[in-house]
Amino acid sequence: MSEEFEFKPMSFPPAVVARISPELSLQRHLAIGIRPNLRKFEEFRNIEFNDGGLSRYGSDDQIKNTSVLGSSVLKSGNTTVITTITAGIIEEDLPAHEINDDAAAVNAVFAKDKTDDSNNDIPKSQLDEYESIYPVVEVERGRVGAPTDEEMILSQKLYETFLHSKILSKDSLKVKVGLRSIDSQGKVDIYYKDDDDDSEDFGLGPKRSWKFVLYAKVKVFSRSGPLFDLVWASVLSALQNTKLPRAHIDENAADIKIPVKMRGNHGTIREQYQIICDAISRDPLKLNNEAIGISSNFGIIDIDEESIQTLQNEDSMEIDSKSILLTDIEGEEEEISSKKTISIVSDRDSKNLKSLTIIGNVSNDQLRKSFELTKFRFKHFAK
Amino acid sequence: MILSATERSYLYELLQQTPPIRPDGRSNKQFRPIQSHIGFLDNSNGSAKITLSDGSECIVSIKAEVVEKSTTNELVSVDVDVSGHRDDTSFILNLQSSLKTLYLKHISSESLNLTTKFAYKLFIDVLVISNYSYPLTLMTFTSYLALNNTYLPKITSSVDDKEIEEQPTFHDYEFNKLIGQFPIVFTVAIIGKNYIIDPNIEEMEVSDNGLIISWFNGKPISPIQNVKLNDGNLKSVKPQLILQSIDLVKEVANDVINSLNSAE
Amino acid sequence: MATTIDRRRLLGPANAKPLVFAPLPEEYQQKLQIDASKEDDIESQITRTFIKSGLITNANGSSFLELDGNIVSISVYGPRPIRGSFVEKTTLSVNLEDNTGLFNDLLNKKFCQYIENNFLSVINLSKYPKSGIDIFINIISVQDIDQLYLKLLSLVSDATTLAIIDAGIEIIDLVVSSFDYENNTVLSYIKNDEIVGILGESEDSIENLSKIIEKTQKKSIHVKNALTTHLISTSQ
Amino acid sequence: MAQLIIPGDDLPSHSTDQNSQLIIGPGIYVNPINKSIIPINSGLLNHQANSLYIESNSRRYIPQQNDFVIGKVIGSFGDVFKVSLSNFSNSVSLSSMAFPNATKKNRPNIKNGNLVYARVSNANKEIDTELECIDPTTGKDGGFGLLEGGYLLEVSLSFARFLLFNPQCQILNELVKKCKFEIAIGCNGLIWIKSDELKYTLALSKCLEKAQFLKQDELNKVFNSTFKELGL
Amino acid sequence: MTLESETTILNRVDGSASLDAGETKVISSVSGPIEPKARQELPTTSALEVIIRADIGVSNTREKLLEDKLRAILSQVIIGHLFPRQLIQITSQVLESGEDREYTSKELSAIVNSSYLALIDANIGLSVSFAAQDIAITESGELIAGPTKEQLRSSKSSHVVVYAIENGEPSNILFSDSIGTFTEDEVYRVLAIAKQHTGKVHQKFRKTLQEKVEKDFVWSV
């Protein structure tokens, strides 16, 4: 029994087509000159910032009892990124000759040749003077568990780009250690040697030095496309309102029990603690501001002709080149279809670039176009 | 505890009557008989074991340690282990947190004080070997017995040892009893408009909600919280039912305390 | 918290120690002082509260609530299929993620237990067999963790109610919670006078429990009106 | 030496008139979008009038129709045996009906771990590959079926094809002069040898392994020294 | 700068190659097409699993970022439709990083090149050949191809560029990753210089592949 089939074309509403075949849906959109998220081809999403008032030193001089030193809430499209900056203290191991004079004398006698030339023939790395923050990125996805690949990649790319952009110098993280003096009535007062008055260091200064380690906790809500630009902007805006507390040494080492959770059992470790941070006095974190710029991403979509032929109606504007440059990729269709991508991180007045990643066969003029767009975007970037 | 639909509705109807008819014929303020042993662990300062009539069994051992007051912020530490439950589930952590807040508040630090620098730290280890009903009441009864029979070594060196360097020294065999009042906790199951004390496994399975009320030297004390006694059907509770449950506990508490004190 | 070694996260040098802050001097303490009247005045609290639902797109339901420095974001995923054998009632799981670092493990579990009890008696569980509902509580900022943590718990419970409604999950009635500052007690109501959750942790929570119940009942009615007006306004 | 070709190189201008059917072999890929023909493996280009393929060496066997293969039986479900042609690849199926005069009742006595010499009857990448132990032309076993005893060794796929199909290959003729043996060569790089004594089998396997890296003229010398080493 | 490479160095895998680029030494191995785990399977194409092992210590987020970059390159060239629902596994072990831990450009370019040779050795279908070149721009703005550890350490910016090679000639960019401080026209100069150098790198590989083919078919008459 031969029953012949005839194929009737099925038609789906746009939302269903977007789920079934994102590429086709995007081609149809581009063919009639619009993007699924209704932005123009070269239009960036605007980004709104505020510090969210999560940090200890909130806007007014009210001190909040939290260990967060800087924060930022960023909203772009329907994606929200919340960044909180916290810190830790680490004792710097200073080279011997800086610690005390007799060590230098000892070195002079016994290891004459080694110490002197050992540290000046290795060229100082460009990055020796700079430090990076330690970001942990978490994308809210309704699953509890180990970080996903995207979260790890975002954290590492953030760490590396931040370090190589030379934004945070090592001495801006030095802990300003004050001296505690208790006068007769037992009134405690702490004297901080202000860096501007370089009065001679009255010899009492502690020989040991400490520096801060900065951590950034980045929480992303409702992800709708590549996240690096938003995470970069959020972390940098959080750092710009971060303040570092001053600290003083406490003679009777207060034993602090720090609860730590190792594989489910609740142990506590006892810490000998000498450094106590001041409750109120703090200094803003000094950043190399002209190195801080914005990050932009672009996707290049190749137009495949036959999906356009099927659209014979008049509003299919003829597409000049065979591929279209889209800015600020957002939405599933654009993310899946952009096989070729460009990601640019520029410095403040986008004269120099800090990071550039090109994936796929990108022509030089598409590259030139994206550089222009970053410069153009910078002028209108709402700080 | 799996109950078929008919068993469930039969029990529910039974417990709905006024006064509630319980499967084992108890009144709503009657406890099940318990069997207790005290001081049977010789290398701990205080110990007790209670076995319930439905087979639940709980052992509590209390050990004391001499610690420096300056470096320890809590003089009582509680560790709970219920067989059949991993110890980082919320069920265990909640039990532990209720017990810990209870004992930290109500074990007076003077009774543990030794010298200006040193004090006793109590380690209360609660081990529930098998539990068929909500274990909190059983655990507090057993620790009540254990705490009441804890004997701490008598100190012989001087009490004010601010300047003395060495540790305090103790008498070889003389002990003094840990004095003080200790809290216990009552579990009340609420079914429809009735409330019953000391629910057994079937009553818990059918109950709408459960209430934990703590009791300390003669009056109910916080924390008070509601608790789900079964995984299935939890229902809301009328406020006056909570108040009536508290009155029920007030009626019952004193004779429970007396019977516990009389246990040898 | 000492950084544990975890090669999937960038946790920085292992021997870094967390900051220890000196206690706040007097004049700042007063600023932080909680004035009881403000806590009990439910009217002004409602006007100060900022509520928004449906913010998180990849969750089935979500809500955001901010009051006096407490910021909470709840996202509800479900009812969604679960691996494993058939279950005729949906399983509810609550996890709390705290970005502020102020929550210890016990407090975290206490919050999750309370919220789970509240909504186990309210969600129509048997309507969603062989599925799970997961509630994620994100604590973004806390007003005062020592004295007002139960106030935060009542806000979390109200926000969870909004998130569950936003997720379109069937519930018997709105769970409305209110917090009594003097006796540090939180009570959750449905149908205006039925209690689904109670947690009292102050000395005299029990003596004047009846007084507390009356007061919190009245306050909960105000909160219920606020929630319903919000739901009506956003549903247009 | 033949001309090396690697991916990215253009293929020599083959006759582009459409009528002559161009048969393309392994190593050549027709780009589905723009129908261009490109090399995707590296090796020696074999370019005849209307056929084009790349002779390249590899170790991962990909089943092709009508290949003679040696398989290890790793399981049996119902009346189908699960056979592994190379480690970690998907297992292929060998129906117990695919044996000469097999019926529902008298099934071939094949247990797990046995070696089977078979022909790939169907190798479509969408569905499971199937083997057969019947010579389709004669209906008899035609040398296929269970391989008892003997020794199994692994060689590269191009060497196996060289042994099996290339007439200029002298290796087997040289070995026959040394001793009597049975041999089964699978296109999946497995060779099964059986002779009366273990010593001979060992010598044969050593010779075959060495032969992979010898020119044809060096064969005789190396084989003699190998056999002498084993005192044969 | 020296560049020695050798194929078929491991016998338990389908394809392997080792590469020694002066201070950086890398081994790559390829297994595939093999049976994937259920969650990796893709309906129409073969899944790609990229694993990079660090020279010191356990692989952490630093190697995860390198894996992501390598995957972005290989997914453009590997023809997946030949083996749907199968898995191709590419593992690279860094023997000597030849650079400080803050930099990854030398390791990335060595890994890309050795992965290319390993894929060819494993006879995995590639649509085009490719080669990578790492470049550093010194303080004075001078471009160095294949910088040493010291040159990299004192460089202003470091770049890795991967070019597709057709008919022995670099044709178009496949991937380029730059980090540090650099200007726009430095980018164009880097891309131009990389184009020449990848051509040279490819000539060396062609010689290695010639040796490999001669070794593989030594018995053929």
Domain ranges in chain E are 4-212
Same domain, A304 and A319: yes
pLDDT digits (tens, 9 = 90+) for B137-147: 999 999 999 99
* Residue A377 confidence (pLDDT): 84
pLDDT at C170: 93
What is the model's pLDDT at position A359? Answer: 95
- Report, in this order, helix, strand and coil percent for chain C, each rounded to 5: 35, 30, 35
Q: Is C106 on the interface with E (CB under 8 A)?
A: no
Residue A105 has pLDDT above 80, yes or no: no
Cβ contact, residue pair B242, C198, below 8 Å: yes
Q: What is the pLDDT of residue A60?
A: 61
Structure confidence at residue A119 (pLDDT): 44
Distance set, CA E87 to CA C121, D39, E32, E79, E206 (Å): 48, 22, 6, 12, 27
Over residues C212-223, the mean pLDDT reads: 90
* CA pair distance D49, D45, nearest whole angstrom: 13
> How long is chain A?
383
Question: Which residues of chain A neighbour C56 with C-beta distances below 8 Å?
Answer: 140, 221-222
Question: Which domain covers residue A310, as residue numbers?
Answer: 22-88+130-168+214-242+289-380
Residue C59 CB neighbours (<10 A): 26
Fold held by C39-235: Ribosomal Protein S5; domain 2 (3.30.230)
Query: Cα(A131)–Cα(A152) distance, rounded to whole angstroms?
Result: 20
Name residue A275's beta-bridge partners. Answer: A249
Select E4-212's CATH number: 1.10.10.10, 3.40.50.720, 3.30.230.70, 2.10.70.10.
3.30.230.70
pLDDT computed for residue A106 by the predictor? 58
Question: Distance between CA atoms of D144 and D118, rounded to whole angstroms?
Answer: 5
Q: How confident is the model at residue D32 (pLDDT cuts 50, 70, 90)?
A: confident
> What mean pLDDT, rounded, does chain A reach?
79
Q: Which amino acid is at E134?
A: D
* Pick among B71, B80, B93 to test the A interface (most A CBs inside 10 A): B71
- Cβ-Cβ contacts under 8 Å, C101 against chain A: 66-67, 86
Q: How long, in residues, is chain C?
A: 236
Provide the shortest C-alpha distance from residue A259 to chain B (in Å): 13
Q: Does any domain span residue A334?
A: yes
Q: Is the pLDDT of residue D84 over 90?
A: yes
Strands A323-327 and A295-302: antiparallel
Question: Are A266 and C109 contacting, i.e. CB atoms less than 8 angstroms apart?
Answer: no
Q: Please indicate, yes or no, if residue D46 is contained in any of the structural domains.
A: yes
Domain residue extents for chain C: 39-235
CA B100 and chain centroid, separation: 10
Dump pLDDT digits (tens) for C154-200: 999 999 999 999 999 999 999 999 998 888 889 999 988 899 999 98
A138 shares a domain with A78: yes
Residues D109 and D47 in one domain: no
Query: E81-115 pLDDT, tens per residue?
Result: 999 999 999 999 999 999 998 999 999 999 999 99
Give the model's pLDDT for residue D151: 93
In this predicted structure, what is the pLDDT of residue A202? 41
Alpha-carbon separation of residue A84 from A71, A133, C66, E33 (angstroms)? 4, 12, 17, 45
For testing contact with chain A, the best of E59, E73, E184 (most A CBs within 10 A): E184
Q: What is the DSSP string of chain B?
A: ----HHHHHHHHHHHHSSS---TT---TT-PPPEEEEES--TTSSEEEEEEETTS-EEEEEEEEEEEETTT-S-SEEEEEEETTS-TTSHHHHHHHHHHHHHHHHHS-HHHHB-SSSEEEEEEEEEEEEE-SS-HHHHHHHHHHHHHHT-EEEEE-S-S--SS--SPP-EEEEEEEEPPS---EEEEEEEETTEEEES--HHHHHH-SEEEEEEEETTEEEEEEEEE-SSSS----B-HHHHHHHHHHHHHHHHHHHHHHHH--
- b/e map of A146-177 (b: 16 or more CB within 10 Å)? ebeebbbbbbbbbbbbbbbbbbbeeebbebbb
Dump pLDDT digits (tens) for D127-183.
889 999 988 888 787 888 899 989 999 999 999 999 998 888 888 888 888 888 999
How crowded is residue A280: how many other Cβ atoms within 10 Å of its Cβ? Answer: 16
Residue A99 has pLDDT above 60, yes or no: no
* Torsions phi, psi for D184 (to 5 deg): -130, 125
Higher pLDDT, D13 or C210: C210
Domain that holds residue D10: 3-55
Residues of E engaging A, defined by a Cβ cutoff of 8 Å:
61-62, 64-65, 68, 72-73, 76, 100, 102, 104, 150, 153-157, 164, 172-184, 187-188, 191
Mark yes or no for CB contact A153/E153 under 8 Å: no
In a domain, A112, yes or no: no
Separation CA E204–CA E200 (nearest Å): 7
Residue A204 pLDDT class (50, 70, 90 cuts): very low
CA distance E192 to chain A (A): 11
pLDDT digits (tens, 9 = 90+) for E45-75: 999 999 999 999 888 999 999 999 999 999 9
Strands D182-185 and D190-194: antiparallel
* Residue B113, amino acid: N
Interface check for C109 against chain B (CB to CB < 8 A): the answer is yes
C22 DSSP 8-state letter: P
What's residue D177's pLDDT?
86
- Contacts C145 to A, Cβ<8 Å: 65
The full DSSP string for A57-123 is B-SSSPBPSSS--EEEEEEETTEEEEEEEEEEEEEE---HHHH-HHHHHHHHHHSHHHHHHHTTSSP
More confidently predicted of A196 and B236: B236
**A133, closest residue in chain C (CA to CA):** C12
**DSSP assignment letter at D218:** G
Domain assignment present for D63: no
Over range D210-229, report the average pLDDT.
88
The mean pLDDT of A290-294, rounded to a whole number, is: 88
Chains touching chain E through at least 3 C-beta pairs below 8 angstroms are A, C, D
| Segment B210-245, tens digit of pLDDT | 998 888 888 888 788 888 888 777 888 888 888 899
Q: How many Å lie between the alpha carbon of C18 and the closest alpha carbon of chain E?
A: 23
Give the per-residue pLDDT at D142: 80
What's the pLDDT score for residue A258? Answer: 57
Q: Is A203 on the interface with B (CB under 8 A)?
A: no
Which of chain C's residues have a Cβ under 8 Å away from the Cβ of B236?
121-122, 189-191, 194-196
pLDDT, one tens digit per residue, over C96-137 is: 998 888 888 778 888 998 999 999 989 988 899 999 999 999
Grade residue A200 by pLDDT with cuts at 50, 70 and 90: very low
pLDDT of residue C95: 92
ipTM of the complex: 0.87
**Stretch A67-84: mean pLDDT:** 92
Contact E104, E66 (CB under 8 A): yes
The predicted pLDDT at position D171 comes to 87
Looking at the structure of chain B, the number of domains it has is 1
Using CB atoms, pick whichever of E65, E172, E188 lies closest to residue A153: E65
Of B94, B225, B232, the CB nearest to C198: B225
pLDDT at D14: 62
Angstrom distance (rounded) from CA B162 to CA B170: 18
Q: pLDDT grade, residue C5 (50/70/90)?
A: low
Q: Which residue has the higher pLDDT, E134 or C145?
A: E134
> Considering only alpha carbons, which residue of chain A is nearest residue B86?
A264
Inter-chain contact B73–A257, Cβ cutoff 8 Å?
yes
Q: Return the percent helix, strand and coil in chain D, to nearest 5.
A: 20, 30, 50
For chain A, the domain total comes to 2
Residue D109 CA to residue A370 CA, distance in Å, equals 70
Three-state DSSP at A233 gives helix
Scored b (16 or more CB within 10 A) or e, E132-158 reads bbbbbbeeeeebbbbbebeebbebbbb
Of A67, A221, A254, the CB nearest to C19: A67
Q: Are residues A311 and A191 in the same domain?
A: no
Quick check: bond before A284 cis, omega within 30?
no
Q: How far is it, in rounded angstroms, from Cα E32 to Cα E13?
A: 9
Q: In which residue are the tokens 């009389």 written?
A: B262
pLDDT of residue C32: 67
Q: In whole angstroms, what is the distance from residue A337 CA to residue A25 CA?
A: 10
CA distance E116 to E128: 10
Q: Is E210 on the interface with D (CB under 8 A)?
A: yes
CATH number for the domain that contains residue D174: 3.30.1370.10
Residue of C nearest to A61 (CA): C28
pLDDT at B133: 82
What sign has the CA pseudo-torsion A314, A320, A324, A327?
A: negative
Write out the two tokens for C125. 């569980």
Cβ(B146)–Cβ(B41) below 8 Å = no
Question: Contact E206/D4 with Cβ under 8 angstroms?
Answer: yes
Contact A355, A345 (CB under 8 A): yes
**Whether D44 contacts D54, CB under 8 Å:** yes
- Give the closest residue to A341 by CA, choosing from A233, A219, A228, A232: A228
For residues A286-310, average pLDDT: 84
**Does residue A316 have a pLDDT over 60?**
no
How close C215 gets to chain B, by Cα (Å)?
Answer: 12
Task: Assess whether A254 and A350 both reside in one domain.
Answer: no
* Separation between Cα atoms, residue A286 and residue A290, nearest integer Å: 12
Range of the domain at B132: 23-158+166-262
> At a CB cut-off of 8 Å and minimum separation 6, what does A273 contact?
A250, A253, A254, A255, A256, C17, C20
Q: What region, left, alpha or beta, does residue A282 occupy, with left being phi > 0 and alpha being psi -120 to 50 degrees?
A: beta
CB-based contact (8 Å) between E207 and chain D? Answer: no
Question: Furthest-apart CA pair in chain B: how many Å?
Answer: 74
Phi then psi dihedrals of residue C111, to 5 deg? -60, -50
pLDDT of the residue at D173: 87
Q: Name which of E56, E61, E63, E65 to mutate to probe chain C: the one with the most chain C Cβ atoms within 10 A of its Cβ.
A: E61
Q: Do C17 and A53 touch (CB under 8 A)?
A: no
Cα–Cα distance measured from residue B20 to residue B12, given in angstroms and rounded to the nearest whole number: 10
A146-171 pLDDT per residue, tens: 899 999 999 999 999 999 999 999 88
Residue C112 CA: distances (Å) to CA of A251, C95, C138: 41, 6, 12
On the question of pLDDT at E156 being above 70, the answer is: yes
A149 closest CB neighbour out of E64, E175, E187: E64
pLDDT at A269 > cutoff 70: no
**Cβ–Cβ pairs < 8 A, chains A and E:** 94
Name chain A's partners: 3 or more CB pairs within 8 A: B, C, E
Range with the lowest mean pLDDT among A110-114, D201-205, E188-192? A110-114
Assess A263–B contact: CB distance below 8 Å, yes or no.
no
Beta bridge partners of C193: none
Question: Is D55 within 8 Å of chain E by CB?
Answer: yes
Per the model's pLDDT, the better-predicted residue between B167 and D54 turns out to be D54
**A353, A368, A373, A374: best to mutate for the E interface, most E CBs within 10 A:** A353
Contacting subunits of C (3+ beta carbon pairs below 8 A): A, B, E
Burial of C77 (0-12, 13-18, 19+ CB in 10 A): buried
Collapse the DSSP code of A253 into the 3-class scheme (helix H, G, I; strand E, B; otherwise coil) and give the result: strand
- Whole-number pLDDT of residue A201: 42
Query: What is the pLDDT, as a whole number, of residue A293?
Result: 86
Local mean pLDDT, 10-residue blocks, chain B (264 residues): 87 89 88 90 91 91 87 84 85 83 82 83 92 88 91 82 75 83 90 89 89 86 84 84 89 89 79
- pLDDT exceeds cutoff 80 at A291: yes
CA distance A102 to A79: 59
- How many domains does chain D divide into? 3
Angle, CA of B138, B141 and B142, to the nearest 5°: 85
D200-221: average pLDDT: 89
pLDDT value at A230 more than 90: yes
CATH number at residue B62: 3.30.230.70
Confidence of residue A383 (pLDDT cuts 50, 70, 90): very low
Residue B12 maps to a domain: no
Instruction: Report residue C189: phi and psi, to 5°.
Output: -120, 150
- Residue scoring higher pLDDT (A105 or C32): C32
Whichever domain contains A349, its CATH number is 3.30.230.70
